Amino acid sequence: MAYCATNGNLYENGKAFELKVGIGADFKVQASGTGSFQVVGKLTQNGAEEVLMMVDLSDFSTVDTITTENVYAGDVSGYYSVTVKNVKGVNKIWGTITY
């Protein structure tokens, strides 16, 4: 049984947002619109970003750049926060962190 720790927008109206991971481990993300983006994690508040590998839940392929509106999942345990970068053509991106 999973409990929702954090959920919210990662990108909207041209602006990226961070979701703090806390004690979360599992992360799911989905976007609306045709385009691409990358999910990144930070180990500390002001730390460097690391591009995360995500699993497409429709076919279980792994990607570092998301290009569809499918739901993707990844492990974010040990990270301080997650956000997105290199967003092109996407209208909105939202995510959920569960533990």
Q: What is the pLDDT of residues 12-47, one digit of tens each?
A: 999 999 999 988 789 999 999 999 999 999 999 998
Instruction: Decide which of 7 and 67 is more confident.
Output: 67
pLDDT at 4: 65
Q: Is 7:95 a contact under the CB 8 Å cutoff?
A: yes
pTM: 0.91
**Percent of residues, the chain, with pLDDT higher than 70:** 96
With vertex at residue 56, the alpha carbon angle to CA 73 and CA 1, rounded to the nearest 5 degrees, is 40
pLDDT at 24: 74
Asked if the model's pLDDT at residue 84 lies above 60, the reply is yes
For the chain, list the domains and their CATH numbers: 4-98 (2.60.120)
